[in-house]
Amino acid sequence: MLFAGSGNERSWQDGWKMRQEFPQNGPGPIIATASSETAAGAAKAARAALAMGASRAEIRLDILASEGERHKAVELASEIPLLVSGDRIRVRPDEWPHFKRASELGAWIDLPAEGAPDNLPGQIAPSRLILSWHGRPGERKALSEVTERMRQKRAAAYKVVPFADDENGNLQARDLLSSRGSLNDLIVFASGSSGVLSRILAIAWGSLATYASAPGCAPAGEGQPSLDLLLSCAPLEIKSSTPLIALLGWPLQFSKTPSFFNRWLREADRPERYVLFPLKELKDFARLARDFNLLGAAVTIPHKQAAMKEAAFHSRLAMATGAANTLLKRPEGWMAANTDVYGVRSAVKRPAAPRPRTLLLGSGGAAAAAAMALCRRGPVAVCARDSAKAGFLASRFNCETVPWEERENAKWDLLVNATPLGLREGESPMFGERLKCGAILDMVIPREGETTLVKAARHQGVRVFHGETMLEAQARLQFRLFAPSP
């Protein structure tokens, strides 16, 4: 990815100097939460985050395992830019000494607004104090009232984090900044898986900061992206007027496409930026496209077939596969296209046999693209857990079907995994002792390393066609559709 490995190439001081160039009057703009039970783990993660370009590292007292670890972690404020926070509901008595010490060392302090006393201990500097409110799933509160109530207490910044039960939670965060952000003292974004977009766009909307998880750390809250994923979406380059290209899918825990898409956009001197947009359903796509200034959208699981219904026009390949991984804004309406077929053909350039027999696992939009790309090269059999969907896809391309329970028995020249199985570590669509095929194409792209299926294939000497080759090839074609040459 674009920022991968940067922690090994630059010191944290270099990363901090880079962020100093961004104007700010708060703790941000990019804060990385170093969630660790040990001070040593938090320090390592914090330094790596600063090297990648984070402005400040957050240490959570409530995550550290012991009083001794909390004491050692707070001393880190004498060395690096630090934000120290703790319990999200109230300030625990045992946290006060650490907050005082961190403030003495120049750290910013984050306290829960409703659990903090009106008169703070004198050792905590209000000029580096954040008062925060975190919403819960299903909670309905007027955010403007929450904000004004918080402002009755003296602080440098006020952090308002509603929980996004759906994509409209992003709009709540944007609207609060629009209506209450004139004092330039707000940190606002939405938590929850649906709120990822608000974390990417928070700075563009006027928030003083946005948050991500530091390298090697689990998310500190639901929907918190990793720092490398957040930075790959270029949050500091996006303005309120920037046209966006969105990756639509659910869930969107990570993706490698923002890194190379945004690199290509910069190299072409294009104004658009590519961002993640977790979306449970596409039914409100047209409205959301207007609300968020979408120029186009890349579409992934599980929306590729539903995307066809959102378009007024369809490319030949989209019509042939019944699935679209690309939505393009045109003056006369949205157009659906499919670049996955090209991606599969690019990945499997030299088949495993003259007319390879292919076992295709899956029955969704990705499987349809693979079926179209491969059925002209040789026989294809469709195998999916939903036998009705497998039968429908097979009839569309004149293929045969194989029951899901029989997938490990017959021998095949090529095995293609077009299911989501493999996204989680240790998960695989095939668990037999031996893979009975000459080659595989796994369309699953894990966050790090290789899928369990690919590892098994390599161990057994089975040829591997790279899913990343397919991903980048289809993205290249998408890029040409989104940003055509003049």
Count CB atoms within 10 A of the CB of residue 376.
10
Count CB atoms within 10 A of the CB of residue 380.
27
pLDDT above 80: residue 25: no
Residues 148-163 have a mean pLDDT of 94
Residues 54-101 have pLDDT tens digits of 999 999 999 999 999 999 999 999 999 999 999 999 999 999 999 999
* Pairing, β 326-330 against β 333-337: antiparallel
CA angle 161, 162, 164 (to 5 degrees): 125
pLDDT above 50: residue 371: yes
Per-residue pLDDT at 8: 35
Residues 333-356 have a mean pLDDT of 91
pLDDT above 90: residue 295: yes
Count CB atoms within 10 A of the CB of residue 472.
17
Written as one letter, the residue type at 474 is Q
Three-state secondary structure readout of the chain = CCCCCHHHHCCHHHHHHHHHCCCCCCCCCEEEECCCCCHHHHHHHHHHHHHHCCCEEEEECCCCCCHHHHHHHHHHHHCCCEEEECCCCCCCHHHHHHHHHHHHCCCEEEEEHHHCCCCCCCCCCHHHEEEEEECCCCCCCCHHHHHHHHCCCCCCEEEEECECCCCHHHHHHHHHHHHHCCCCCEEECCECHHHHHHHHHHHHHCCCCEEEECCCCCCCCCCCCEHHHHHHCCCCCCCCCCCEEEEEECCCCCCCHHHHHHHHHHHCCCCCEEEEEECCCCCCHHHHHHHCCEEEEEECCCCCCHHHHHCCEECHHHHHHCCCCEEEEECCEEEEECCHHHHHHHHCCCCCCCCCCEEEECCCHHHHHHHHHHCCCCCEEEECCCHHHHHHHHHHCCCEECCHHHCCCCCEEEEEECCCCCCCCCCCCCCCCCCCEEEEEECCCCCCCCCHHHHHHHHCCCEEECHHHHHHHHHHHHHHHHCCCC
Cα–Cα distances in angstroms (integers) from residue 184 to residues 7, 40, 107, 148, 220, in the given order: 31, 35, 20, 14, 25
Written as one letter, the residue type at 370 is A
Sheet holding 412-417, edge to edge: 400-401, 380-383, 358-361, 412-417, 437-442, 463-465
Locate tokens 């926070």: which residue?
85
**Among 181, 235, 243, residue whose Cα is nearest residue 29:** 235
Cα–Cα distance, 147 to 135 (Å, whole number): 12
Burial class (CB in 10 A: 0-12, 13-18, 19+), 48: buried
Written as one letter, the residue type at 155 is A
Phi then psi for residue 186, to 5 deg, are -110, 140
Per-residue pLDDT at 439: 95
Terminal C-alpha separation, the chain: 28
Per-residue pLDDT at 26: 85
Per-residue pLDDT at 13: 46
Residues 251-288 have pLDDT tens digits of 887 899 999 999 999 999 999 999 999 999 998 899 99
Per-residue pLDDT at 296: 96
pLDDT above 60: residue 14: no
157, HSE (Cβ side, Cα atoms, 13 Å) = 26
CA dihedral (277, 278, 281, 287) in degrees, to 10, reads -30
Q: Which residues contact 41 (CB under 8 A, 6 or more apart)?
A: 34, 216
pTM of the model: 0.91
Peptide linkage before 278 cis (omega within 30 of 0)? no
Cα–Cα distance, 29 to 24 (Å, whole number): 7
Give 33's strand partners: 58, 213
Range of lowest pLDDT (1-10, 42-51, 54-63, 112-121): 1-10
pLDDT above 90: residue 105: yes
**What are the structure tokens assigned to 373, written together?**
């790309």
Per-residue pLDDT at 284: 85
Per-residue pLDDT at 121: 67
pLDDT above 80: residue 1: no
Task: Return mean pLDDT, the chain.
Answer: 91
**Among 327, 325, 328, 329, residue whose Cα is nearest residue 340:** 325
C-beta of residue 318 within 8 angstroms of C-beta of residue 308: yes
Cα–Cα distance, 53 to 7 (Å, whole number): 9
How would you label 245-277 residue by residue, b for 16+ Cβ within 10 Å and e otherwise? bbbbbbbbbbbbbbbbbbebbeeeebebbbbbb
Structural domains for the chain: 6-223 (3.20.20.70), 261-338 (3.40.50.10860), 342-472 (3.40.50.720)
